[in-house]
């Protein structure tokens, strides 16, 4: 039928056959329950048979009367919608179906007219021009209908950016500010999880019942050689929708230069937003966008992947640019947790990215994200190493007031307490440095009998960092002139380290042997404190003549005076010293009280005859109460002691 001219019957008998065939085709066209494809075939066949008859008539001088009549009929159906700006698909399914049938009819007439030899037939040329203009008008209207349909039915419920607990992880070491106290560290330990917070699921970007209507427009426009116009309209609307989703996630379109100049507080927020956006954009929207493209354009081959790539390209480039800027920027220790979040998010999504852009046209997307993953891996390792260097090289010119837990200890222990969440990633990325670090760590956990947790790369690196911290703390202790305060400082900090390990997910990575060893260390400093502070005080109460029953009054009075002066000096100094942990403070008070109070009570008990208010300044009960003022971190004098306030 493509060459109707050659199929023109030559004899009257053949004309009857054409007429009969035409009649049969018209009868079949009225049959109900025909498929769309079969109905279109019958319409095309009817048009071809009509044109054969018309061409025969034109040979006889009758012209293209029937063709023109058919063209006028469909012209009325199409033109009437140009004056009525109500959208066709909003008017109902029958109106939409009638319009598409009219467009099919125009296309059929055009195909048939083009299939005939012109032979300088002016009427034929005129009809072809009219039909082509009508088709162009219809295509323009279908493009409007498509845009209206996509905009009207665009999904309105979008996941929005919610700052997760991990967004509080602005860990910056500062001598005057302790970043991450115990409570915020506990809160921050709830790391953002792709599966928990956004999941990987597909949403209907356009309701299911609208898809057939969009596909019907696509089929007609592609069949009429207006596929490019369909794609441009489809891409334009869907690209804008995706960019709106991206904007809702509060991602600024930052250049690489902008990122590199950004202050850490702002940069940390943007890194957190990037992590969240990657999960939402790739785990939800691009998955959903790909399904929509497959549903609408799946039967049009490479057009499908082309449109999807064009829709996604701008948003993907924004995400890539930010990631690349982070990977190429300086890797300070405070970036480590953010970098780990970014790396893990991309590592979890890279398989999906490969699947979404599996065609040749999307190869650059796959390659760029794989390069970014490698860059982030290098950044994590660089930031981890920088963290270790910062711990070992942190210096102080002055001793930390009161001998309490140093901010560096809090910074390090709170920071590393979040690393177990990243165990799998850190073990992978630190593997190539494992042997070097394991050799530096003296604890037996890295030996051949070590457990899987205590011997993994991350565990050895953590113990290396705490070893550096210990060395640094010993240097800082030397800044105290008072030897007793040196021991208080080291006791406080080592006890803090042990408690942080015991009370967190760090314990499996350090092991019980490490805990026992460091318990012994801080207990040794506790005993050293007692020896340095109280041995000389208690020694003042020692009987110079063990054989005698009691001291002379003057000797007794001298010893009491010496004890009181020494005790008051300790009281004056050590009330300003600090033991932050209540249990550790209580234990040391009890231990001190047992030593000092017992010695004082024994001394007074050996000399009952001289005990009176003129000889002794402090009773045993006074000493017991005054010892309770020690290590509170607030300087006291005997004028505002507990004893004086209660008397």
How do residues 576-595 score in pLDDT, each as one tens digit?
A: 999 999 999 999 999 999 99
What residues make up the domain containing 107?
A: 64-153
DSSP letter assigned to residue 637? -
Query: Are residues 512 and 567 both part of a single domain?
Result: no
Query: Are residues 557 and 483 both part of a single domain?
Result: no
pLDDT for 645 beyond 50: no
Query: Are residues 289 and 348 both part of a single domain?
Result: yes
More confident residue, 11 or 478: 478
Residue 647 belongs to a domain = no
Query: Are residues 322 and 423 both part of a single domain?
Result: no
Region 532-546: mean pLDDT is: 84
What pLDDT band is residue 168 in, cutting at 50, 70 and 90?
very low
Cα separation, 13 vs 570, in Å, equals 132
CA angle 169, 171, 173 (to 5 degrees): 170
Cα separation, 483 vs 486, in Å, equals 5
Query: Are residues 500 and 560 both part of a single domain?
Result: no
Closest CA to 267 of 330, 193, 197: 330
Query: Are residues 68 and 51 both part of a single domain?
Result: no
Residue 222 belongs to a domain = no
Question: Which residue has tokens 């009325």?
Answer: 76
Residue 603's pLDDT is 87
More confident residue, 457 or 438: 457
Residue 466 belongs to a domain = yes
The total of structural domains in the chain comes to 5
Query: Are residues 601 and 523 both part of a single domain?
Result: no
Residue 552 belongs to a domain = yes
What pLDDT band is residue 189 in, cutting at 50, 70 and 90?
very low
Query: Are residues 526 and 583 both part of a single domain?
Result: no
Region 88-105: mean pLDDT is: 92
Query: Are residues 263 and 382 both part of a single domain?
Result: yes
What pLDDT band is residue 7 in, cutting at 50, 70 and 90?
very low
pTM score = 0.79
Query: Are residues 546 and 526 both part of a single domain?
Result: no
More confident residue, 603 or 488: 488
pLDDT for 162 beyond 80: no
Cα separation, 66 vs 117, in Å, equals 18
Query: Are residues 467 and 564 both part of a single domain?
Result: no
Residue 28's pLDDT is 63
Q: Which of 472, 505, 532 is the C-terminal boundary of a domain? A: 532
Q: What is the mean pLDDT of the chain?
A: 82
What's the N-to-C CA distance of the chain in angstroms? 120
Region 158-179: mean pLDDT is: 46
More confident residue, 227 or 185: 227
Query: Are residues 254 and 300 both part of a single domain?
Result: yes
135 and 103 in contact (C-beta within 8 Å)? yes
């Amino acid at each position: 039928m493509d060459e109707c001219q050659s199929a023109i019957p030559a004899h009257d008998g053949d004309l009857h056959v054409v007429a009969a065939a035409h009649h049969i085709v018209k009868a079949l066209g009225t049959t109900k329950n025909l498929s769309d494809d079969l109905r279109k075939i019958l319409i095309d066949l009817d048009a071809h048979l009509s044109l054969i008859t018309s061409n025969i008539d034109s040979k006889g001088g009758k012209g293209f009367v029937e063709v023109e009549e058919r063209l006028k009929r469909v012209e009325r159906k199409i033109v009437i919608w140009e004056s009525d700006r109500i959208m066709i698909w909003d008017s109902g399914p029958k109106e939409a179906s009638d319009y598409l049938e009219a467009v099919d009819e125009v296309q059929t007439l055009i195909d048939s007219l083009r299939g005939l030899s012109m032979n300088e037939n002016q009427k034929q040329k005129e009809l072809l021009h009219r039909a082509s203009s009508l088709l162009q008008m219809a295509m323009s209207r279908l493009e409007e209908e498509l845009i209206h349909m996509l905009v009207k039915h665009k999904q309105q419920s979008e996941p929005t950016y919610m700052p997760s607990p991990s967004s509080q992880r602005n860990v910056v070491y500062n001598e005057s500010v302790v970043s991450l106290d115990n409570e915020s560290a506990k809160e921050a330990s709830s790391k953002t999880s792709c599966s928990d917070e956004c999941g990987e699921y597909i949403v209907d970007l356009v309701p299911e019942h609208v898809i057939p209507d969009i596909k019907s427009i696509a089929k007609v426009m592609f069949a009429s050689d207006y596929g490019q116009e369909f794609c441009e309209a489809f891409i334009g609307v869907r690209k804008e929708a995706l960019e709106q989703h991206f904007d809702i996630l509060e991602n600024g379109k930052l250049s690489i230069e902008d990122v590199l100049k950004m202050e850490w507080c702002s940069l940390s927020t943007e890194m957190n937003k990037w992590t969240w956006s990657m999960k939402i954009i790739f785990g939800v929207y691009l998955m959903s966008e790909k399904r929509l493209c497959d549903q609408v354009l799946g039967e049009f081959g490479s057009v499908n992947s082309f449109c999807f790539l064009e829709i996604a390209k701008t948003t993907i480039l924004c995400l890539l640019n930010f990631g690349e800027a982070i990977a190429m920027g300086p890797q300070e220790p405070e970036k480590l947790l953010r970098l780990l979040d970014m790396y893990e998010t991309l590592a979890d999504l890279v398989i999906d990215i490969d699947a979404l852009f599996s065609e040749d046209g999307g190869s650059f997307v796959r390659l760029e994200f794989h390069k970014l993953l490698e860059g982030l891996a290098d950044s994590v390792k660089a930031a981890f190493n920088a963290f270790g260097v910062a711990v070992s090289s942190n210096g102080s010119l002055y001793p930390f007031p009161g001998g309490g837990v140093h901010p560096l200890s809090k910074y390090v222990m709170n920071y590393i307490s979040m690393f177990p969440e990243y165990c799998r990633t850190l073990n992978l990325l630190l593997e190539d440095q494992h042997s070097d670090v394991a050799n530096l760590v003296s604890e037996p956990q890295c030996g051949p009998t070590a457990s899987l947790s205590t011997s993994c790369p991350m565990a050895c690196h953590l113990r290396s960092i705490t070893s550096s911290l210990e060395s640094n703390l010993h240097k800082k202790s030397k800044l105290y002139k008072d030897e007793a305060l040196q021991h208080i400082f080291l006791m406080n900090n080592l006890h803090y380290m042990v408690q942080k390990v015991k009370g967190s997910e760090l314990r499996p990575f350090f092991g019980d042997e490490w805990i026992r060893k460091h318990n012994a260390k801080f207990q040794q400093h506790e005993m050293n404190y007692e020896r340095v502070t109280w041995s000389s005080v208690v020694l003042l109460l020692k009987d110079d003549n063990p054989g005698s029953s009691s001291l002379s009054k003057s000797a007794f009075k001298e010893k009491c005076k010496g004890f009181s002066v020494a005790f008051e000096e300790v009281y004056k100094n050590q009330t300003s010293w600090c033991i932050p942990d209540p249990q550790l403070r209580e234990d040391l008070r009890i231990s001190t009280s047992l030593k000092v109070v017992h010695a004082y009570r024994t001394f007074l008990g050996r000399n009952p005859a001289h005990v009176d208010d003129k000889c002794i300044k402090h009773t045993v009960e006074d000493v017991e109460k005054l010892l309770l003022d020690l290590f509170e971190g607030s300087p006291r004098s005997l004028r505002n002691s507990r004893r004086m306030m209660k008397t």
